[in-house]
Amino acid sequence: MYEGKFFESFSILEDRREQGKVLHKLLDVVFIVVSAVICGCNEWKDIKLWMEMELNQLWLKKYIRLQNGLPSLSTICRLFNMINPKQFEKCFSLWMGQAIDLDDYDIISIDGKTSRGSIFDESRGIHIVSAICRSHSLVIGQVKTDEKSNKITAIPELLDMLIIKGCIVTIDAMGCQKKIVDKIVDECKADYVLNVKANQASLLSDIVEHFQNQEMVKKRENLNIAYQLTKTKGNPVGDSSLSMLRTIEKGHGRIEKRTYYYSQDIQWMLDALKEWRGLKGVGMVYREVETNGNKSSEYAYYIGSVNTVKQFEKAVRNHWQVESFHWSLDVTYRDDANKTRKGYAPQNLALIKRIAYNVAKKDTTVRPKESMKGKRFVASMDFKYRDHLIKINFM
């Protein structure tokens, strides 16, 4: 009965239960939980109430058989505690690889988030590293970091799952590592823009010195004058030695002005060119924020394998917008409020929420302007809309 990309991708999940005693198929249980979360359920008890509603049971039978009725809540929780999260993450990545077509220079932002509700005693909680495609606003992969490690070790594992040839990968300073760059360039066949901070002290010092030397300061001044004189604001000015682009965003009493500089005049960086695969340029962003009369500013520095300041600006801007994804998980999916702590269940439920997030995000035709919360509410009440979400995502 299983049909479509979703069931095909998740069919490789290993069922660890004693098969002679199995009453409810693994894919049936996964589909029930995914459907419930799509419809607004964030906790196990919510899922139980949702699946017990007769109309929802009738709807479920359009897609799965339920030959032995509904699984109990204890069965669902026990099963999600047993599912191998590495396999689950791989299935998710396979599904997304079939579900979307990435374009050249699509931005893939890699960032981590801790589910604060999973923190207890001496545990650091569940920390998930996700890859988000900004043009589609979808999560395309995720990996949980090891308890005693950090996201540096998780990033290469996540990159192994992704098919991102021709894309631009962005990572914050934690991911600015030579081995990660090697994997992005050599194995993923992608480009990169990486934030540089004190964990790469020598590299940071070189970049800061480059942008602050007298010749470069004079070039920046000239570019600012040229930008003021140009009739088409928002377009870059300069050449490969130094180019500049400025953006201004206003909203909710906040004005944010960002000035992006990208220099490909880096022949002098002999050590960096040897050590960092594909390195083509260094970047600097001057960020000015005014909120209710209060002003603040900061500089940020980057390395990149991109060719233009426009690509550099797009990569940095899109990475900063990853915060909206984390906000949606916190507010709409109650990610930080989730107290699931036993075994593999916390990270498996976290993945289910990212599946549901993608399902709602992918609707750009029926209710494109509806909020995430609104889409989930409509899906819970309107079977036609729910079927629409299943069709565009699962089939």
Q: Residue 12: give the domain boundaries.
A: 5-90+343-394
Which residue has 């070039």 as its token pair? 219
Widest Cα–Cα separation across the chain = 77
Would you say residue 178 lies in a domain?
yes
- Mean pLDDT, range 294-310, rounded to an integer: 97
- Tokens, residue 324: 């909206």
Which of 194, 224, 255 finishes a domain? 194
Closest CA to 14 of 86, 94, 96, 78: 86
- 280 and 304 in contact (C-beta within 8 Å)? yes
Provide φ and ψ at 284, rounded to 5°: -135, 140
Between 112 and 201, the higher pLDDT residue: 201
- Tokens, residue 150: 């950090």
- Tokens, residue 144: 């949980």
Res 150 pLDDT > 70: no
Amino acid identity of residue 363, one-letter, is D
pLDDT of residue 134: 84
Q: Which helix or strand (DSSP H or E) is residue 207 part of?
A: helix 201-212
Write out the E strands in the chain.
107-115, 126-133, 138-144, 168-171, 191-196, 237-239, 242-251, 254-263, 281-291, 294-304
pLDDT of residue 346: 83
Amino acid identity of residue 315, one-letter, is A
pLDDT tens per residue across span 98-112: 888 898 999 999 998
Would you say residue 318 lies in a domain?
no
- Mean pLDDT, range 52-78, rounded to an integer: 95
CATH code for the domain of 123: 3.30.420.10
Q: How far apart are CA 17 and CA 255, in angstroms?
A: 56
Long-range contacts of 230-238 (CB under 8 A, 24+ apart): 236/308, 236/309, 236/310, 238/309
Between 250 and 311, the higher pLDDT residue: 311
Query: Alpha carbon 392 to chain centroid distance?
Result: 20
Res 72 pLDDT > 80: yes
pLDDT tens per residue across span 164-189: 999 999 999 999 999 999 999 999 99
Domain shared by 159 and 107, yes or no: yes
Would you say residue 161 lies in a domain?
yes
- Mean pLDDT, range 375-390, rounded to an integer: 98
- Mean pLDDT score of the chain, rounded to an integer? 90
Which of 176, 194, 212 finishes a domain? 194
pLDDT tens per residue across span 12-29: 999 998 888 889 999 999
Quote the Cα angle for 26-29-30, to 5°.
85
Mean pLDDT lowest among 34-38, 122-126, 284-288, 379-383: 122-126
- Mean pLDDT, range 358-371, rounded to an integer: 94
**Confidence category of residue 338, pLDDT binned at 50, 70, 90:** low
pLDDT of residue 74: 93
Domain shared by 280 and 372, yes or no: no
Tell me how many domains the chain contains: 3
**Confidence category of residue 340, pLDDT binned at 50, 70, 90:** low
Domain shared by 204 and 282, yes or no: yes
pLDDT of residue 251: 82
Q: How far apart are CA 135 and CA 102, in angstroms?
A: 9
Cα–Cα separations (whole angstroms), residue 181 to 156, 170, 323: 10, 11, 23
pLDDT of residue 308: 97
Domain shared by 32 and 110, yes or no: no
Q: Which helix or strand (DSSP H or E) is residue 375 part of?
A: helix 372-381
pLDDT tens per residue across span 243-290: 999 999 888 788 999 999 999 999 999 999 999 999 999 999 999 999
The count of C-alpha atoms lying within 13 angstroms of the C-alpha of 348, restricted to the half-sphere facing its C-beta, is 24
Domain shared by 166 and 263, yes or no: no
- Mean pLDDT, range 2-7, rounded to an integer: 90
Would you say residue 254 lies in a domain?
yes
**Residue 166 Ramachandran class (φ > 0 left, ψ -120 to 50 alpha, else beta):** left
- Residue 149 CB partners (closer than 8 Å, separation 6+): none
